[in-house]
Structure 1
Amino acid sequence: MSTGFLSVDLDALTANWRSLDAMTDVETCAVVKADGYGLGVAKVGRALMKAGVKRFFVAVPEEGAILRHAVGPNVEICIFAGHMRGDTDMIADMMLTPMINTIGQLTRHLEALPDHPFGVQLDTGMNRLGLEIDEWASIAEIALTQNCRLVMSHLACADTPDHPMNRKQLDQFHLMTDGINVPRSLAATGGILLGPEYHFDMTRPGIGLYGGAPFADALPVAYLDLPVIQVRDVEIGETVGYANAWTAQRPSKIATLSGGYADGLTRALSAGANLWHGAQPVPLVGRVSMDLITADVTDLPELPGVLSVLGLDQTVDELAARAGTIGYEILTSLGPRYERRYSGA
């Protein structure tokens, strides 16, 4: 085949969820937005549901509808974006739980779907989504006497354990929610690792499920292999790729592989990334183009049919560091052209 193979280890995924769940004494949910962080929300959602997840989080109702079709009616699906204009029918039909972010959203929800469950998102300092303290004070009594299932906020700096923002947001969340009779949630993956005082009634791990930092003990979940389309001999002084970006300093064998920035292999990887043949690194040479990349396979003992991008020898965070980004972006950018192969669960 001429497309890359994205292999997803569902047993590793569920093992990561169980490990994070074991760190707390509260309910552990799962964030599966952006198509299960690029790995396929249907398979990811079903595997996590079988492992014990009873509540999922996605970004928008359209994602929730896809997940609902995959996992059926017996789990809760929460929508971070809340109840936006035009979403009422989908929220009702797909049994979705919007996380209310504004007073206007609360008004819309209670008028359109007065008996339908919802949650509330509070802004404790991130200044991205949620009600600020004065807004919350003005509507808390109304919200908490309706079918409110959850009050949550989100940490801005949880991947930096010593950052003072963590304590500031924790204190603000206590100030805004202590004494309420509705379950509370503050911690995603990083918040779980900060310790029990951040756990409240429910945690919502995301990136840690998929093998990413800051969960250092996470098992790798995604493996990406690219097929070699052609191998050519390149003489000293010849160039490879757009803009003559790489010049051979010795007689070289250059492999052209199927995969490029249209598949989530960002152009920034042109600056010195590696592919892998087993445990042997293979330097990427020239520029990453839309559909193709080139690698110097001169030092391999045999001509390869496939080279690895993600695997045991190069994690998603290590690849991200090469590109000057984060593992989240690498995973969620993995393109639709890969053949996805699932194992386990």
Structure 2
Amino acid sequence: MKNTYRACAEINLDALKHNIQEIQAVLGDTKLMCVIKTNAYGHGSIVLARELAAMGAYGFAVATVDEGIELRNNGIIQPILVLGFVAKEQYADMITHHIMPAIFTYSMAKDFDAVANAMHTVADVHIKLDTGMSRIGFKSDAESIEATVQGIVMINSLLKNIRIDGIFTHFACADCEDDHMTFKQLKRFDNVIDRLEKNGVHIPIKHCANSAAIIKYPGMRMNMARAGIIIYGLYPSDEVDREVIKLEPVMRLKSHVIYVKTVEPGTTVGYGATYVCQRPTKIATVSIGYGDGYPRALSNKGRVLIGSQSWPIIGRICMDQLMVDVTDADYEIKQGDEVVLVGSQGSESIPVEEVAAINNSFNYEFVCDINRRVPRVYYRNGEVVDIVNYLR
């Protein structure tokens, strides 16, 4: 398979395997649920799910029912959990495809049970607790815990067509230096579980550790942990110890030079004429833009790699193209030359975090923003093993 695309995201499956091995080494016997929502954080959910399943992933977490059904339709048989809201109209589809919802109210559980009953089956669910995110979940503060426990007890005892397979929460500040909030959330989570146990409700799977908690808090890994951003070789923040798990970035975003020209001093570049050449300037036009998910905020601020050297972006980034100043190149830069926007080229590298910082965002957002116009090209041992072109 040959890569001839105007721009592409290269996905290094060897780096993916390395990251999973690093994660599994610290988890030990703890089950690994891989979070592959938003197209596996932009890396391509179908190919990655297959790879991760082969590497021993216990299950997968997604954000929507459709993301889960897409996995099922492509042969994924591991447990799938939808982390977010699900409309009643989707319950039957979830049950048909053996996809578990996150139950966060008694009425939701009752409705889901009714659909399962009508379909003559018993469906697995996970209970979601809100311990401090204030997003979705049964409340767990001192004023609410008794009602929450009784609600879950009723789900367990009265609703015969659903089975509580797991219970979980999500940490708000696990990637922060201050650990006060995380321990507060853990205490609330443990309190609910303790009370459920005393009421005879024994839930098999308990999970609260996200990527940051997997790194920072060994005691919070329980019997399942949810790894997201670290799967893809990116750290959740600068506050986690990078020596605990040594990651390798999985994605490299690249394009190529499509045109090179030299212009005179005073020539303007791009929309709005925001850049004015102060000298005879050699400009290389690159075939990628904000229409592909590369941030327009990097106009006149970002840089790219060509020939293992760094070159500045000049002018406003267009929807489909951008321009760079290659005047000082001591070799001929020509049409077809590889351009790296994120990742390594030779001894040089542009980390995702650098690009995201200029865009006033963060690494999660950048990789998720690389859209379906950009094919994903999968490599193993330096060879292309798969290409996903979403447009055909």
| Class of the TM-score when normalised by the shorter of the 2 chains | over 0.9
Larger deviation, residues 292-301 vs 52-61: 292-301
- Identify which of 339, 343, 351 aligns with 1:307: 339
Structure-1 separation of matches of 2:114 and 2:16: 40
Question: Which position in structure 2 is the counterpart of 1:336?
Answer: 372
After TM superposition, the structure 1 = structure 2 runs for residues 229-308 of structure 1, keeping only pairs within 5 Å, are 229-300=258-329, 301-304=331-334, 305-308=337-340
Say if 2:45 is the partner of 1:16.
no
* 1:7 positional shift: 0.8
Q: Which residue identity does 2:59 align to in structure 1?
A: R
Q: Residues 62 and 82 of structure 2 are in contact (CA less than 8 Å); yes or no, is this contact kept in structure 1?
A: yes
**Residues matched between the structures, number:** 344
Equivalent residues of 1:2, 1:227 under 8 A apart? no
Counterpart residue type for residue 228 of structure 1: V
For residue 200 of structure 1, give the secondary structure of its aligned residue in structure 2: coil
CA deviation after TM superposition for structure 1 residue 39, in Å:
1.3
Task: In structure 2, list runs of 5 or more residues that go unmatched.
Answer: 386-392
SS in 2 for 1:87: helix
8 Å contact kept, 2:100–2:126? yes
Pairing partner for 1:36 from 23, 36, 40: 40
1:128 positional shift: 1.0
Matched AA of 2:305: W
Matched with 1:190 is 212
SS of alignment partner, residue 62 of structure 1: helix
**1:159 and 1:234 mapped to 2: Cα distance?**
48
1:181 is aligned to 202
Amino acid at match of 2:229: I
Q: Which moved more, 1:1-10 or 1:232-241?
A: 1-10
User: 1:271: how far off?
Assistant: 4.6
Letter in 2 for 1:19: E
User: What RMSD in Å do the two structures reach over aligned CA positions?
Assistant: 1.7
Question: Following TM superposition, by how much is the alpha carbon of 1:279 offset from its aligned partner in structure 2, in angstroms?
Answer: 3.1
Where in structure 2 are the equivalents of 1:62-141 lying within 5 Å?
62-73=66-77, 75-114=78-117, 115-133=122-140, 134=144, 135-141=147-153
- Whole-angstrom distance in 1 between the partners of 2:327 and 2:137: 55
Aligned twin of 2:389: none
Look up the equivalent residue of 2:213 and give its one-letter code: G
Gaps of 5+ in 1: none
CA distance in 2, matches of 1:282, 1:247: 16
Q: How far 1:138 sits from its partner (Å)? A: 3.2
Cα contact 2:254–2:339 (8 A) shared by 1? yes
Alignment-mate amino acid for residue 275 of structure 1:
V
* Maintained 8 Å contact 2:94/2:100: yes
How far the C-alpha of 1:2 sits from its partner, in A, is 5.6
Equivalent-residue separation in structure 1 for 2:107 and 2:266 (angstroms): 65
CA separation in 2, counterparts of 1:16 and 1:257? 31
SS of residue paired to 2:10 = strand
Contact 2:300 2:312 in 1 (8 A): no
Report the CA distance between 1:164 and its aligned residue: 2.1
Larger deviation, residues 80-89 vs 280-289: 80-89
- Tell me which amino acid in the other structure corresponds to 2:123: H
Name the aligned partner's letter for residue 16 of structure 2: L
The answer to whether residue 173 in structure 2 is matched with residue 151 in structure 1 is no
Q: TM-score, with normalisation over the residues of structure 2?
A: 0.84
Give CA-to-partner distance per residue, 1:9-30, whole Å, 9 cap, x none. 1121122122112112311110
Tell me the residue number matched to 1:58: 62
Larger Rg: 1 or 2? Answer: 2
Read off the aligned partner of 1:98 and give its amino acid letter.
P
Report the Cα offset of residue 233 of structure 1: 1.2
1:165 and 2:181 aligned? yes
